[in-house]
Every structure is written in structure tokens, then in C-alpha cells.
Amino acid sequence: MELVILDRDGVINVDSPNYIRSPGDLHPLSGSLEAIARFTQSGCRVAIATNQSGLARGYFDMDALNAIHRQLLSRVAAVGGRIDLIAFCPHGPDDGCACRKPAPGLLEAISRRLAMPLTGVPFIGDSLRDLEAGLAAGAEPILVLTGNGEKSLAQLPTHLASVRVYRDLWHAAVALLDGDGQGAPGAPGP
């Protein structure tokens, strides 16, 4: 595996209905930073695709978002990992852009910027819009049960019923890298 793409809020860090507005709001989920380190140490590039409508809504500005991402990069580096690229959509839900998930624009931008095709690339998310974006981009959508994952699992439409499901990012990383669990469609893997 050469590339893995991750959603941010609800996959790497605790999501908040009040948005992640500052570095102090960034609380990594258990094992998530270590999972990124495992990907990195296996030679896999790691990218993030995240909707950040809080910018359009005025909840935070680019300086705050950059500070949040600098902290995330630093915390990942502290455990031996690396994030190669963070792609974000700054638009609101009604802006009609091509980059806001479930549209595939963010993933396609990652593909272009890293000069890597998306076919078969795992895109790990916690929401239906993540899964839809992965499918639309030709990546392999994977669901984790953190964040909105359990709610998303309960609402999986038929065309997404075969996605692999894992308890969290750590368990997804172990299964993808070690090949010791396929993650049953519609049910949590190891």
C-alpha cells in the first residue's frame, strides 16, 4: 500500500458539534496518532481530506486552521509518523463546490498533488459523506466506528453495504498493514 487517505474529525481526533476551532480543541482519539505512525513506518504516504465549513461560517480563520494542523503534524511526528498532505474544503454545505465531501474533489486534489492514482487507495472515514466521496473518487471507502461511525453504520445504503468496518483507526491500520483481518462488510473488524 503506497497511500492512505484519512478523514480528520471523528477518525483522528474527537469530533465536536461546536467545531475544532483552535489547537486546544484538538484531542486525538486513542491509538490514532500511533496508527498514522504505523502507516508511515510501513512506507505508506498519509494524506487527510477534511471538510472545514467552520471557515465559511466564520467560526475560525485560516490562521487558526493552520495552527490546528501544525499541532496535528507535530503530535504525529512525536510518535514517529508523518502526514504528507492535508487537503481541506473551506466551503459551506450550500456553496455548491466540487471539493466538499461527498463530492470527490478533495481526494482528486490529493491524487494530483501526490501524483498517485486513487484506485484501491483506502479512504478511512466515519461518515456516509466520507464513504460516498471515496466511492466517487475510485478509492476504497472504509468506515471506522469512532466519531459518527456507529450512526453511519446503522444508515449504510445498499451500495455501501460491502465497505469494510473497523472499530477505530488503529484497528484499521493493523488490518490493512498486517493483513490479519478483512473487516467484515457491515460489521466491525478486529
Could you give the percent of the chain with pLDDT greater than 70?
94
Percentage of the chain exceeding pLDDT 90? 94
Domain ranges of the chain: 3-178
Catalytic residue, chosen from 9, 126, 130, 168, is 9
**Cβ-Cβ contacts under 8 Å for 146 (sequence gap 6 or more):** 10, 11, 29, 126, 167, 168, 169
Q: Name the pLDDT band for 185 (thresholds 50, 70, 90).
A: very low
- Please say if 7 is a catalytic residue: yes
Residue 130 annotated to the active site:
no
Fold of domain 3-178:
Rossmann fold (3.40.50)
- In DSSP notation, 133-179 reads HHHHHTSEEEEESTTTHHHHHHT--GGGTT-EEESSHHHHHHHHHH-
Residue 125 banded pLDDT, cuts 50, 70, 90? very high
Query: What's the mean pLDDT in 38-54?
Result: 97
* pLDDT band, residue 187 (cuts 50/70/90): very low
Mean pLDDT rounded to a whole number for the chain: 94
Catalytic residue, candidates 7, 126, 130, 168: 7
Per-residue pLDDT at 180: 56
Under a CB-based contact definition with an 8 Å cutoff, are residues 91 and 101 in contact? no
Three-state DSSP state, 138: coil
Strand-pair category, 45-51 with 85-89: parallel
Q: What is the pLDDT of residues 94-123, one digit of tens each?
A: 999 999 999 999 999 999 999 999 999 999
